Structure 1
Amino acid sequence: MNTYPELYSLSLNRFSCRSYSSQPVPEDAMMAVLDVARLAPSACNRQPWIFVIADTPDEREAVAQSYARDWIRTAPEYIIACGVHDQAWHRPHDGKDHTDVDLSIAIEHLCLAAASLHLGTCWVCNFDPEIIRSAFRLPEGVEPVAIIPIGFPAEGVSAPDKTRKELSEIVRRGKF
């Protein structure tokens, strides 16, 4: 039984959009999705993240140069999700840095918020971080972790059928 129909529907219909309309993202929509990311939980509430909006021609070209796939050029804007490792919580037992965990939670909040506004997104992690670091003058200690293209999906683009493992394949009670 689905006890969270709105969240379930957003999760089911959110997809990795790889074809966008040229329509710009309204500023209030961009700020709304970033505000939802801001509200995401993080370990010890450290919030070790910075989000850089890339929308000028030079910024868009830098993103395209960092990720050599033509489809990324169709997005009207990008959000570069950056982690700040010295602001993150580190587990005392083994020093595990939670930057990527915290930033991933915030990014998924952002993607679900975008889906609620009928905007498409896609996590892009296979990019050249040095191109991004240089083009956006990221200071030392600020790591570009993901690029999120954002915009309205192109006409005719919608969520594909999702193939996911069954709950019985991924859930265990007690010992493994």
Structure 2
Amino acid sequence: MDFLQLAKTRYSVRKYKDKKVEDEKLQKILEAGRVAPTGANTQPQKLIVITKEEGLKKLKKGANIYGAPVAVIVCEDHDVSWKRPYDNKDVAETDVAIVSTHLVLQATELGLGTIWVCYFDPKIIREEFNIPNNVEAVNIIGIGYADEEPASPERHKAARKPLEKTIIKESF
């Protein structure tokens, strides 16, 4: 499948089958995240991969991943992330967003569904998973086999603004 079709196929899955994600597929997804570009190649991402029931129960205390059998808490390490010298902007959140995008698109290409969750209690997640102070959980990616009808790739015609509403050529 070409990239644009892949991007249009990916959607947020909110119901998963009770089926384990194969280790080979999970490793390929994690490798896709590993090769994601980051600012100055600092690679500030830290991925907490949760596949066991105990970890998934802890995760439920602070987040809803809709029954996905795998969760990846995507974190940024502020001690190693690149900061723009002009204003000291920390680009770690941009970096982990790129990593997260690689994860969900690779999962989609492998026939898996994903949910990208930002609605979670960061205090509970920090405590339950012993996240150090210099590391921040940014999002959680749920991964598994969808147990629902897939969203139509054609949905973007109505659900997304047309290009002319989002593109500014040369200057505002």
Q: Shorter-chain TM-score category?
A: over 0.9
Shift in Å, 1:61:
1.1
Shift in Å, 1:57:
1.8
What residue number does 1:139 align with? 132
User: What secondary structure is seen at the aligned counterpart in 1 of 2:131?
Assistant: coil
Q: Distance in 2 between matches of 1:59 and 1:153?
A: 21
Shift in Å, 1:73:
4.3
- State the aligned residue count: 168
State the 4+ residue runs in structure 1 displaced beyond 4 angstroms: none
Gap regions ≥5 residues in structure 1: none
User: What secondary structure is seen at the aligned counterpart in 2 of 1:86?
Assistant: coil
Q: Distance in 2 between matches of 1:33 and 1:157?
A: 23
User: What secondary structure is seen at the aligned counterpart in 1 of 2:4?
Assistant: helix
How much identity, in percent, do the aligned residues show?
35
Q: Distance in 1 between matches of 2:149 and 2:70?
A: 18
Which moved further from structure 2: 129-138 or 91-100? Answer: 129-138
Q: Which whole-Å deviations, capped at 9, do the CAs of 1:7-63 have from their partners, x for residues lacking one?
A: 001100000111111111101101101100111111101110011111222211111
1:149 matches 2:162: no
Q: Distance in 2 between matches of 1:89 and 1:27?
A: 32
Q: Which whole-Å deviations, capped at 9, do the CAs of 1:70-117 have from their partners, x for residues lacking one?
A: xx3421110110110111110111110001000001100111000000
Query: In the alignment, residue 20 of structure 1 is paired with which amino acid?
Result: Y
Q: 1:1-176 maps to which residues of 2 (within 5 A)?
A: 6-67=2-63, 69=64, 72-154=65-147, 156-160=148-152, 161-162=155-156, 163-176=159-172
Q: Distance in 2 between matches of 1:53 and 1:92?
A: 33
Q: Distance in 1 between matches of 2:30 and 2:114?
A: 13
Query: In the alignment, residue 158 of structure 1 is paired with which amino acid?
Result: P
Q: CA RMSD in A?
A: 1.2
